[in-house]
A and B are shown apart, each in its own frame.
Chain A
Amino acid sequence: MFDVVLKFIMMLIVIFGSVFLGLFFKGIDRILSAKMQRRIGPPLWQPFYDVRKLMIKESVIPKGSIKWIFELFALVSLTASILILFYIPILGKSILGNSGDLVLIIYLFIFPGLSLVLGAFSSNSSYSNLGGQRLIINMLGYEFPLAIICLTPVWLVYKKGFSNIFSLNTIYEHNVWGLTSPLGIIGLLLESIVVFFVIAGELSKTPFDIDTADSEIAGGVLAEYSGRNLAMFYMAEAVKMIALASLFIALFFPWNIQGNFGIMFLVYLLKIFFIIFISSTLIKTVTSRFKISRLTRFYWGYLSLFAIIGFLFTL
């Protein structure tokens, strides 16, 4: 009985912790990108104010849209992104580690994007329809390099002959960098560069934000969302940032200094900050948006090319 209660408390901690962390890092991200463009930027707690304000505002259901799809998928996107965190080993074993593995996580990452697309299509405005189509194209794009990157550590663990190679715990315990030849190290370096672009793509940050392109289709996917539904998507995107960063920490950057729990958590936060800074803040301010037709070519052409080369190096 006791461990059920413990698990329940752990679950509560993870839920509210991930939302808090996500919004916190979103605030840092906005401040840093503002500083990089020589403007002051919003206060640190701006995302929390946004969420509170959204919760108070009216949540409008557009006239032609289907009410239950419109609202259900706002909730589903947040729950799916939080559920991912249950399967990722953050500081040791993951909470549900023994009942799910890497393929499950790749599929769980589709849920938030999918519910965004369904919400956009169901809100019956041509801007959100366009945004939804572009988001699907974006999802089709980044899935290919994502699959290659996630499967290289599995291949390395498989080559070393460990058992149940697909579970994230085994990958997390055996540091991926130690398993390969020097050529493999170069390959993994190449792959970690691709990692940052994939994270930027999955969070649809600037070079890949064809779906919420403010200048072209006025808010795109979330054009018709307001009030608490928009708050759900806002938080889902923040949690997804944390989940993605911690997934790639578990796969590619698992080093950690042995200290008590506090220090290890601090190092973990620093690593997340490092990844989010490069993948979303740096790339966002440096590059500009892709044309739609060039996007697939970039994903399936250059990004997956580098990923495959990296993978071949590790063979």
Chain B
Amino acid sequence: MTPEASRPASFERLRRLPIVGRALDWGMGGSAVSRRTREAGARIAGLKVTESVCPYCAVGCGQLVYTRDGELVEIEGNPRSPINQGTLCPKGAASRQLVQQPGRLTKVRYRRPGGAEWEELELEQAMDMIAQRVIEARENGWQDRDRRGWRVDRTLGFAHLGGATLDNEENYLIKKLFTALGAIQIENQARI
């Protein structure tokens, strides 16, 4: 059993006096509580929740993502996940700031050859330009046969290096499209 809590003797003695003692507790009561405090509650109450997985290491912690009208409000551990049972490491706990980070890009930036500054590009225009460069590089680097005359049917004109935080489905499309284009220099972080 937890022992009796104690107070400093002088304070306690004074506090036991009839009226003066009572006065020592004035100002500590309910009137100090503000309306805001009385109505306090978790800001995620009533919000839409989505189940997700932490993007950092490969432990695979479950996350709960709370959103209000499409705005991210909160990311915390998913208590149902048998792997992390609601816990997260500092990186996982910071993943809301990863999404809302100060320098997050929202527009395409373009640096022309020899340029000293970024320029902004419309997304569609950037996609058109990239597609055009892929086609050119593919053609320029195309090999039907290698030096020995063996069939290779490939291009060395462009390469890909992917992070290991991409989804399986994304990796699938990357491998599928680039292989179909004949690119073989497809690599990712797994080897790094």
The judgment on whether A and B are partners is no
Residues of chain B having any CB pair with chain A under 8 Å: none
